[in-house]
Amino acid sequence: MDREKLIKKLIHVLDHTEEHFESIIKILKELNLDYKEYEDLYEKLKELNEKVKGSL
């Protein structure tokens, strides 16, 4: 696969990973379960994703 397609695929996966974390947090909140650690991971994930996207 060429570099451009790999970059597009990576960005797509990074975006969906953030969306999935958002869903996990929302569901945990609705179930009145502890979601703090997931929020912390989500913030770290967003930060790392921005670094990756910035380096592309």
pTM for the model? 0.83
Q: What is the pLDDT of residues 8-26, one digit of tens each?
A: 999 999 999 999 999 999 9
Instruction: Quote the pLDDT of residue 1.
Output: 80
Instruction: Quote the pLDDT of residue 38.
Output: 97
DSSP string, the chain: --HHHHHHHHHHHHHHHHHHHHHHHHHHHHTT---HHHHHHHHHHHHHHHHHHHH-
Instruction: Quote the pLDDT of residue 55.
Output: 94
Q: What is the pLDDT of residues 40-55, one digit of tens each?
A: 999 999 999 999 999 9
Q: Does residue 6 register a pLDDT over 90?
A: yes
